[in-house]
């Protein structure tokens, strides 16, 4: 909702949006390590979610 309200007022470079998403993967691995969770599953979840988002972004870029 905040993004929708700020979009007409603020212009951000695309690199800023990418950099804002990067800590999510690191945080996932840190939490998995601290709580003794399976790191392979956490890394796999990061890899698959990144692949899906990149594919969706490329598809959206091709459609516009």
- Domain assignment of residue 34, yes or no: yes
pLDDT tens profile 36-60 = 999 999 999 999 988 998 899 899 9
**Residues comprising the chain, all counted:** 64
Rounded CA-CA distance 30/46 in Å is: 12
Q: Does residue 35 surpass a pLDDT of 90?
A: yes
Q: Is the pLDDT of residue 19 over 90?
A: no
**Counted domains in the chain:** 1
Domain limits for position 44 = 13-63
Determine, yes or no, domain membership for 40. Answer: yes
Q: How far apart are CA 31 and CA 29, in angstroms?
A: 6
Query: Is the model's pLDDT at 3 over the cut of 80?
Result: no
| Model confidence pTM above 0.85 | no
**Any domain includes 5:** no
């Amino acid at each position: 909702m905040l993004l929708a309200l700020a979009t007409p007022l603020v212009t951000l470079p695309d690199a800023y949006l990418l950099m804002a998403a990067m800590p999510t993967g690191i945080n996932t691995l840190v939490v998995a390590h601290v709580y003794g969770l399976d790191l392979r599953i956490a890394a796999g979840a990061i890899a698959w979610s990144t692949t899906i988002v990149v594919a969706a972004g490329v598809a959206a870029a091709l459609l516009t």
